[in-house]
Amino acid sequence: MVYRSPTAICGALLAVVALLSLPSPALADEILWSLLKKGGQVVLMRHAVTAPGVGDPPGFRLDDCSTQRNLIDDGRRDAQRVGAEFRARGVVLERVLSSPWCRCVETANLAFGKAEISTALSNLFTHPQNRDRQVREMRELISVPQVGNRVFVSHGATIAALTGVSLDTAEMLVVTPQGDGRFVVNGRLSVRAQ
């Protein structure tokens, strides 16, 4: 028989209680949707799924989508599903910004019907030398509290550089602006096919 001290048993029980008290993913999602319904949030969204590969082909150009990695049909459906969920929940958007890469612009347009281009949201995967400048610019864009919600469609590497969170395609991170370059990360949202 193995002897367990009362302290070890109590610690194990507290750990189990802590795990059981964590909100379920569905409840966590509802909390984020409620925040968005109230307004004043920023949604950082990674573009939807693209053709297989990493980065863009050599010699790609921002002014020619045919030279870039673009959305595939599954990605287009994912983007449309995200927009449908926002509309079904009555979440109002004040502004939608997008990286100039075609996959981000198409994601934003399919989901939300609009997109303003912002170079601050550009792909850092292929341009890591811009990291410090872009993170500073993104902090400036995000940190000013607003009445309405804003969506920023960008790239996984770019969002990770700002937040330390690595998102899946078409996944979103909801943050609350705090002013002075600061924001609070509230959690991740994903609209999955049923």
pLDDT of residue 193: 61
pLDDT of residue 144: 79
Tell me which residue has tokens 């909100």.
23
The residues near 143 (Cβ < 8 Å, ≥ 6 apart) are: 177, 178, 179, 180, 181, 182, 183
pLDDT of residue 191: 87
pLDDT of residue 18: 42
pLDDT of residue 7: 57
Per-residue pLDDT of the chain (194 residues; tens, 9 = 90+): 555 555 545 444 444 344 344 455 567 789 999 999 999 999 999 999 998 877 788 889 999 999 999 999 999 999 999 999 999 999 999 999 999 999 999 999 999 999 999 999 999 887 778 889 999 999 999 987 788 999 999 999 999 999 999 999 999 999 999 988 889 999 999 986 65
Left (φ > 0), alpha (ψ -120 to 50) or beta: where does 70 sit?
A: beta
pLDDT of residue 3: 53
Q: In this structure, how many other beta carbons lie within 10 angstroms of the beta carbon of residue 165? A: 16
DSSP state of 71: B
Per-residue DSSP letters for 90-152?
Answer: T--EEEEEE-SSHHHHHHHHHHHS--EE-GGG--SSS-GGGHHHHHHHHHHHHHS--SSEEEE
pLDDT of residue 15: 44
pLDDT of residue 77: 97
- Tell me if 124 sits within 8 A of 16, measured CB to CB: no
pLDDT of residue 104: 97
